[in-house]
Structure 1
Amino acid sequence: MENGAVYRPTTEVHPGTARDTRSSLAACCFLGRLKWPRRTLKILQVLLSLLAFVCEEVVSQCTLCGGLYFFEFVSCSAFLLSLLMLVVYFTPVYDRVDAVKVKLSDFYITVAIACLFLMASIIFVSTHDKTSAEVAAIVFGFLASFMFLGDFFIMLYEKRQESQLTKPETAVGTAALTEPLNA
């Protein structure tokens, strides 16, 4: 056996691996999976929940700390979960998992975070000490809640539109179904 036949596939450059003109980071990101309103909402969710978390972390003392701690947990969880969904949508991870499961997970995560963030913001309003950092955290918390709620309603609308497009026609009579085929 000649050595060229053994070593050729591993030593020659594969023609498909030539570098593209795009950078490697841009090549792995695909923004087209989400339409611009949802893409904007997803980015705003990440930014506003991060800002709410950072502003809450700046608070140095509190008299009723239960609302602050709950807000801290919810804002941090919202930031991490919304960042995770953003990464899944914008990277090749989306191609490796079932798209239906991603959309369903995004739907349930969004509605849960929207409800919890709104509740945490309301509780934090009733227990805060009126410092500027707490007020800023509350404002960002409510804004993030509204972004999550807006995303939820857009997903609900899209889901309803899809179900109307795939709804089977009900015009087929039941008498036609009960008649024999060769009559």
Structure 2
Amino acid sequence: AMENGAVYRPTTEEDPGPARGARSGLAACCNLGRLRLPRRVLKGLQLLLSLLAFICEEVVSQCTLCGGLYFFEFVSSSAFLLCLLMLIVYCTPVYDRVDAGKVKSSDFYITLGIGCVFLLASIIFVSTHDQTSAEIAAIVFGFLASFMFLADFGIMAYEKRQESQKRKPEATVRAEALTEPLNA
């Protein structure tokens, strides 16, 4: 006659502590692993630099030619919000509920669009600013953010090209196999 405890002791594991087991709270719904490290870093820099460009632009109290400032304001705030949206989609369970191909395609075109328009806004702002330190800081952050968006687009374009080159050999092998006679 064995005690009940003796039967279960060798195979039953203790209650895992907080360091082990399933993640809880915010950590459970945030997954940064869907983006490779270089893209994660670029997305973080895009977010930070576009926010800093927007903040520096908001500090500007007066302007002579305000069109460039207002366009830069719109672009920097939009870039920040769109980048934040893409990060939220990549890092939360939302990603599992939508088509991953559409997310990547949207990210591809949004990143390209933001990079080009942010670069244009920065160039326009350079030609219309009043040379205050806040404007110069905003412009520097604007150009840096533009380059981060364009670098991210470059990485995505490179990855897309690599994927399409991997698929091509498979398609040619299948085509050759279909043209061979069955009784050869």
- Provide the C-alpha distance between the structure 2 equivalents of 1:23 and 1:141, rounded to a whole number of angstroms: 37
* TM superposition score normalised by structure 2: 0.83
Amino acid at match of 1:170: T
How far is 1:76 from its partner? 0.6
- Provide the C-alpha distance between the structure 1 equivalents of 2:94 and 2:175, rounded to a whole number of angstroms: 45
Count of residue correspondences: 164
Structural mapping, 1:57-96, within 5 Å: 57-96=58-97
* TM superposition score normalised by structure 1: 0.83
Deviations 1:115-135 (A, max 9, x none): 000000000000000000000
How far is 1:166 from its partner? 1.4
How far is 1:23 from its partner? 3.4
- Provide the C-alpha distance between the structure 1 equivalents of 2:102 and 2:174, rounded to a whole number of angstroms: 32
Instruction: Return 164-173 or 132-141, whichever deviates more.
Output: 164-173
Flag structure 1 segments of 5+ consecutive residues without an equivalent. 1-18
Structural mapping, 1:15-164, within 5 Å: 22-164=23-165
How far is 1:43 from its partner? 0.7
* CA RMSD after TM alignment: 2.1
- Provide the C-alpha distance between the structure 2 equivalents of 1:76 and 1:128, rounded to a whole number of angstroms: 18
- Provide the C-alpha distance between the structure 2 equivalents of 1:150 and 1:173, rounded to a whole number of angstroms: 37
- Provide the C-alpha distance between the structure 2 equivalents of 1:180 and 1:105, rounded to a whole number of angstroms: 44
Amino acid at match of 2:102: K
Deviations 1:83-127 (A, max 9, x none): 000000011110000000000000000000000000000000000
- Identity score, percent: 77
- Provide the C-alpha distance between the structure 2 equivalents of 1:139 and 1:48, rounded to a whole number of angstroms: 9
Flag structure 2 segments of 5+ consecutive residues without an equivalent. 1-17
CA gap of 1:181–1:112, structure 2 versus 1, over 3 A, is same
- Provide the C-alpha distance between the structure 2 equivalents of 1:173 and 1:119, rounded to a whole number of angstroms: 46
* Secondary structure at 1:130 match in 2: coil
